[in-house]
A = this chain, B = another copy of it.
Amino acid sequence: MGQTMAEGLGQRDDMTVVALVDVNEPRELFGATYVTSVGDLPVDLDAVVDFSLPASVVASAEWCAANGVALIVGATGLTPEQRSFVEAAGERVGVVMAANYSIGAVLSERFAAMAAPYFERVEIIELHHDRKVDAPSGTSLVSAERIRSARSAAGRVTAPEPTERLTIDGARGADAGDGVRIHSVRLPGLLAHQEVLFGSAGEGLTIRHDSYDRQSFVNGVALAISHAVSAPGFTSGIDELL
């Protein structure tokens, strides 16, 4: 992932990849310097992008705070203590930490929440490759929660379904609460796709997001960098940067 980020960011006109932190064998990339630990980075950087493990993120946070360098964190699974180090850095420098840097995914979720109060019903279909073992996907559960929350805030109640005659259990998908159903499709060939389908009398609105490649994170990280270098502060997720 670090490699994908470095390649993607390096191709942009508005950024320069100055140095790469890697414990493995270096390979030539935009003439960037290779160092083996964050402590060896030059201090005149604008920002550090860290997609490594939680333990390394703490070191990055401390170094960035000490040297006045903005920090973008893509690691997930930090302990509360690890997270507190990252948040503390936000008091000194700009810090953005997000689980998902895909702009399309974030906008999809926002649009779904915005549309939620205006339609009679909504269901989600999420489609992934067949090696994915969990269902429903984490993203679809977050979408469902945001939809339910938006409907609830608007006083929108989903009418009960007509008494169902299910000839095979599971046909109507997973009930994520308030009638929001999630259907999880798993097929080889697929990557990561999600459709939120809204329906009212006479019309439908569908918001679909397709993730083909983790290159999709590059634009979101670039957005986070632009934000983080402008002022100190800790930002969780890129939603509010859009």
Which residues of A line the B interface, CB within 8 A? 8, 102-105, 107-108, 110-111, 114-115, 118-123, 125, 127, 130-136, 141, 161-176, 181-191, 197-219, 242
Contact = CB atoms under 8 A, between A and B. Distances in A.
A144 to B, nearest CB: 9
Say how many copies of this protein the assembly contains.
4
A13 to B, nearest CB: 11
Contacts of A121: 130, 186-188
Contacts of A130: 120-121, 161-162, 199
A185 B125 CA distance: 9
A122 B187 CA distance: 7
A183 B186 contact: no
A136 B200 contact: no
A170 B175 contact: yes
Nearest to A136: B171
B135 A200 contact: no
Contact of A188 (B181, B201, B207): B201
Contact of A174 (B111, B170, B187): B170
Contacts of A172: 135, 170, 184, 186
Given A120-B188, A204-B209, A136 B168 contact: yes
A18 to B, nearest CB: 22
Contacts of A212: 189-191, 202-204, 212
B136 A167 contact: yes
A170 B169 contact: yes
A214 B187 contact: no
Contacts of A110: 114
Nearest to A118: B103
B205 A206 contact: no
Nearest to A181: B185
Nearest to A187: B199
Contact of A183 (B119, B134, B169, B173): B173
A174 to B, nearest CB: 4
B199 A190 contact: yes
Nearest to A183: B183
Nearest to A103: B118
